[in-house]
Amino acid sequence: MTTFDYNEELIKAMKGKLPGGVNLANTLIDMLYLGKEAVYRRLRGEVPFTLAEAATISQKMGVSLDKLVGSNKGMNAIFDLNIIHYSEPLETYYSIVDNYVKIFQEIKGDPTSVLCTASNIIPQTFYLKYELLSKFRMFKWLYQFEKIDIEHHFEELQMVDKLLDRQRDFVRESQEFNRTVYIWDSKIFVYLVNDIKYFARTNLISQEYVQKLKKELIQLLDELEEIAVQGVFKTGKEVSIYIANVNFEATYSYIATSAYRLSLIRLFAINSITSHDENVFRNVKEWVDSLRKYSVLISQSGEIQRIKFFNEQREIINRLCE
């Protein structure tokens, strides 16, 4: 493909991502920090977009560069693994959380924005605002990958303030989508309680901190029940919560607007692989949406099922210290 053809295809792809009435030139001026004439020269094909500019466009607009150059002929798709570097786990984890916050902020004003998740663990969009629960997830990951000494205890892990603040930003911004749908595995609290019990039995978490984790779990459960009753977040945005009658092997999510697509699959306990590929997005969306047929809506509906579910979760949490 020639440079001119590449530019032409890139421009077509960008136009296809923008909602009607949005000016592409103005969008690129803000996105690429270029002057008006520089942008128009690129749109007229007089000057090619640089690789760095194309990469920024791909990241910000979800334009697939591999499709433009024909590298997806074998039905391949590009994924971002979001791998946390072992040498600086908290720093790289911060960068991942920060990236999601920026994505949420960029699209939260879009009236077509949607976040859908089929989750077999308590979603990050809820627990990350709780200091000890989020710390426990990190502790478990570090322990599992042998990145901390076995003699070190949970309470010795230090979570820096900037990470805690950004996690709270993550939760707050995640509740600004115009519409949110959660489909929960009925055992999401069972899995977490069992994990905490394991580390308590191995004396890596003291009983004092088990009690503190239990307190945060109860606070989280109360928050979730209030959201389910109201059917909206405190932001006023709509949320639908389903409880599935089947168990999930992983957590699948997708984010969508009229011009943006992102699919996520949870990997390695605390992070997700992501893709802007249209085929991946379509398959993840179909899978998440299909799970509703096995699920019961408990937000602003299904009162009996909702009460039963939350009572069962309280019993599970109360057994934490047994």
Per-residue pLDDT of the chain (322 residues; tens, 9 = 90+): 444 467 788 888 888 777 767 888 888 988 888 888 988 888 888 888 887 888 888 877 877 776 666 544 445 555 555 555 556 777 878 888 888 898 899 888 899 999 999 998 899 999 999 999 999 988 888 887 665 555 568 888 888 899 999 999 999 999 999 999 999 999 999 999 999 999 999 899 999 999 999 999 999 999 999 999 999 999 999 999 999 988 887 889 999 998 888 888 886 656 667 787 788 889 999 999 999 888 999 998 889 999 999 999 999 999 987 6
Q: What is the CA radius of gyration of the chain?
A: 22
State the pLDDT at residue 235. Answer: 93
Q: Which of 286, 262, 287, 259 is nearest to 276 (CA)?
A: 262
pLDDT of residue 193: 95
| Cβ pair 285, 263 in contact under 8 A | yes
Quote the pLDDT of residue 4. 42
CA 151 to chain centre: 32
User: Across 12-98, where does the E strand assignment appear?
Assistant: none
Q: What is the pTM of this model?
A: 0.75
Q: What is the pLDDT of residue 306?
A: 95
CA distance readout (Å), 214 to 217, 218, 274, 322? 5, 6, 32, 12
Q: What is the pLDDT of residue 87?
A: 60
* The predicted structure's pLDDT at residue 147: 58
The pLDDT of residue 176? 96
The whole-angstrom distance between residue 107's C-alpha and the CA centroid of its chain comes to: 14
In sequence order, which residues have a C-beta less than 8 Å from that of residue 133 and are 6 or more positions away?
Answer: 122, 127, 213, 216, 217, 220
Q: Lay out the sheet containing 252-256: strands in order across.
A: 271-275, 261-267, 252-256, 114-119, 179-184, 238-244, 295-297
Domain boundaries, the chain: 3-68, 89-321
**Residue carrying structure tokens 């991502």:** 17
pLDDT at 76: 53
Closest CA to 50 of 70, 27, 34, 62: 34
pLDDT at 151: 59
How many whole angstroms separate alpha carbon 248 and alpha carbon 234? 29
The helix or strand, by DSSP H or E, that contains position 288, with its residue range, turns out to be helix 278-290
**CATH class held by domain 89-321:** alpha beta
E strand map for the chain: 114-119, 179-184, 238-244, 252-256, 261-267, 271-275, 295-297
